[in-house]
Structure 1
Amino acid sequence: MARDKPKDTRPLQVYTLVVELGRLDGDGLPDTASGGGMILYAPGRDEPEAVRDAVRILKDAGLNPLDVESHGTAEEQRADGVDLGQEELDLMDRARAENSVVVAQKEAYYD
């Protein structure tokens, strides 16, 4: 009989992620764009989980994430002297409450 994996009871944290996008057919970026970037808020029990889940969701959405840079949780950013605006905090709260990735910004890049 297989044992069930113990449930992870650590609280969800929300991480600010900056994602660099490459091109794929049907990715929704303008035809003349060379790629793109996104800022998103991703929940996870830890940073690796948040990054893995965000990358999986972006790939499922037909995007091509090339690189992900984490800026940490709101608490970590505050400790680094970052002044977060209310809109950012509201989006982070939404990501936590819905346990889902929230895209704050998407931008196309041009060479």
Structure 2
Amino acid sequence: MAKEKNKQQVYTLVVQVGRKSGDGLPEESTGAALMCFASGVDEAEAVRETVAILKQADLAPLDVTGYGALRDREKAGHDIAQDERDLMQRALDENSVIVAQMTPFYGEDDK
């Protein structure tokens, strides 16, 4: 009997990154939060792929919070805009990681 192939899904992840030389973040920021859509057969794979890609992009991932796949978010009552759904579909179609939003952090001591 052939083993059934796991179906790819897209997971919503928020990755906190610290500072690293050449990271491309605003000079005065202390780090950032990146909202990513990542494809994978499970959330663990999506996290591994996202962290690997961010490291290749000279970012310094510190922490990842997973919010599940689209169905999980819908069950949790999240309001998911069409542009987010489009990016999720793109991540699935391309079997990729898409950084949908970047929010820099600024420490109080930096002002």
TM-score by length of 1: 0.91
Q: Which amino acid aligns with 1:73?
A: A
Q: Shift of residue 84 of structure 1?
A: 0.9
Unmatched 5+ stretches in structure 1: 1-6
Distance 2:60 2:20 in 1: 6
| 1:55 counterpart residue number | 51
| 1:87 counterpart residue number | 83
TM-score by length of 2: 0.91
Q: Which amino acid aligns with 2:80?
A: L
Q: Which amino acid aligns with 1:15?
A: Y
Deviations 1:73-95 (A, max 9, x none): 11001111112111111000000
Q: Shift of residue 9 of structure 1?
A: 1.6
Q: Shift of residue 8 of structure 1?
A: 7.6
Distance 1:101 1:43 in 2: 7
User: Root-mean-square deviation (CA), in Å?
Assistant: 1.5
| 1:30 counterpart residue number | 26
Deviations 1:22-81 (A, max 9, x none): 000010012211111100100000000000000000001100010000011110011111
Unmatched 5+ stretches in structure 2: none
| 2:16 counterpart residue number | 20
Runs (4+) off by over 6 Å: none
Distance 2:26 2:89 in 1: 31
Distance 1:51 1:99 in 2: 13
Q: Which amino acid aligns with 1:34?
A: T
Distance 1:86 1:74 in 2: 12
For these two proteins, the number of residue pairs brought into alignment is: 106
Distance 2:85 2:14 in 1: 16
